[in-house]
Amino acid sequence: MSAQSRTEITLITGASAGIGKAFALKLAPRCKGMILIGRDADKLAEVVTELEQPGLSIVSFALDLTTTEGLARVMEAIRQKGPVTMLINNAGFATYGKFAESDLDAEMAMVNLHCNASLALCRAALPYMKEEGRGVVINVSSMGSFFPVKYSAVYAATKTFLNMFSQALQQEVKGDGIRVQCLCPSYTRTDFSKREALADLDSSKVPDKLWWTAEDIVEVSLAHLASDTTSVLCLPDEQNRQLVHQVLSAQCAEFETE
């Protein structure tokens, strides 16, 4: 399904800010309905108010997708409020520090959110998409998924999981009219890096020219979907694609010499 065609119902996790909110604002005019998920009830309510327009039905849930209860409520919403024709698994967070000294509960919660929740929501939405003969799944990964990221080992690993899962999933559903994208943003100006867990991360060391806005990342994602490319992985620009190519080539060369 082309991203430019009208989407009936879109479900977005992490919709209260950043890339999730940018997706919601961009896609709202194309939707008949939206299901928005976020942890911050106040911010989520503000987004809903901003999106309200004639002909658009919005359902929002302020909950924690790292919990069994929260995930079950969203899966039930897919059943009752669907069929969902676009699923955007965007919710996420990161930690920073040595893994051996980390809060294991926080690391496990990250795995639950990035991996388990994305799997569960894909599994809940895909049968309806297959029945409709169309659909889009966007799993939001990271440029960090291509690198062994020191002090963010679990974050990078969970995003690598999303890359592999998304590519394999596309192979499975390509005959069902379903498009799978794994969006890999670079440095993006959102409140993501301002969270307490990343207090020790000095983002000021990143040159201004390397930063993207959430709106620009969403534009890249939707343009990728509307293109004729069969690639599942969506990187922001040629500079980032070349960087990944260099890293992967170096890893292959290292493997061959072992």
Please check whether residue 22 lies inside any domain of the structure: yes
pTM of the model: 0.88
**21 located within any domain:** yes
Instruction: Examine residue 208 and state whether it is found in any structural domain, yes or no.
Output: yes
Place of tokens 């493997």: 255
The pLDDT, as a whole number, for residue 203 is 57
pLDDT in tens, 79-105: 999 899 999 999 999 999 999 999 999
* pLDDT tens digit sequence for 201-223: 455 555 566 678 999 999 999 99
Answer whether 97's CB lies under 8 Å from 151's CB.
yes
The answer to whether residue 11 sits within a structural domain is yes
| Phi and psi angles of residue 36, each rounded to the nearest 5 degrees, phi first | -115, 130
**CB 91 within 8 Å of CB 20:** yes
pLDDT of residue 205: 58
Res 1: pLDDT: 42
On the question of pLDDT at 119 being above 50, the answer is yes
Q: What percentage of the chain carries pLDDT values higher than 70? A: 81
CATH number (domain holding residue 69): 3.40.50.720
> Taking the alpha carbons of 163, 30, 12, 45 in that order, is the dihedral positive or negative?
positive
Residue 36 lies in a domain: yes
Residue 1, domain member (yes or no):
no
pLDDT of 21 above 80: yes
Q: Are 37 and 67 a contacting pair, CB within 8 Å?
A: no
Closest by alpha carbon to 86, among 147, 41, 33, 38?
33
Rounded to whole angstroms, how far apart are CA atoms 241 and 225? 17
Q: Count the domains in the chain.
A: 1
Per-residue confidence band for 224, with pLDDT thresholds at 50, 70 and 90: very high
Residue 199 lies in a domain: yes
Structural domain that includes position 225: 7-257
